[in-house]
Amino acid sequence: MSLRSPLSRVLGSGSAKEGTNHWWMQRVTAIGLLILGAWFLISIAQMESYGHNDLAAWVGDPFNAVMLLLASITLAWHSSLGIQIVIEDYVHGPALKVASIILNKFAHLFLGAAAVLAVLSVALGGSV
């Protein structure tokens, strides 16, 4: 028998005891995307020309390449978190829910890795 009240036993623990972390990560990545998105729009708007060579040179700049890598990783992470919430809320079969969450994680990992490879390939002059 516990001396704790039923309310004190459940406070602070979500259904899987990790909901707070998920919520915070979604907000932190959203703020990161706002900052990175603003940088991207301002940086692209300042370009004189949008030809292939000009954009390749822009991506080849080390600062721009690092920022694009951060944006790609943050976008994949934020999207994965958001899609996971949709799956948890609207997919009702337990086996289908688990399979969908696993597929979501692998799909976003693949897309994030493809984006990183694309940025590195252009930034390093096609040597990747």
Q: Using one digit for the tens of pLDDT, what is the confidence trace for 49-84?
A: 999 999 999 999 999 999 999 999 999 999 999 999
Mean pLDDT (whole number) for 8-21: 68
Per-residue pLDDT, 126: 76
Query: What is residue 16's predicted lDDT score, i.e. its pLDDT?
Result: 58
In the chain, what are the domain boundaries? 16-123
CATH class of 16-123: mainly alpha
User: pLDDT tens digits for 19-37?
Assistant: 789 999 999 999 999 999 9
**CB-neighbour burial class of residue 80 (10 A; exposed 0-12, middle 13-18, buried 19+):** buried
Residue at token pair 């976008």: 75
**Per-residue pLDDT reduced to its tens digit, 90-127:** 999 999 999 999 999 999 999 999 999 999 999 998 76
Q: What is the dihedral of CA 104, 105, 110, 116, to 10 degrees?
A: 120
Looking at residue 18, what is its pLDDT? Answer: 66
Q: Would you place residue 1 in the very low, low, confident or very high pLDDT band (cuts 50, 70, 90)?
A: low
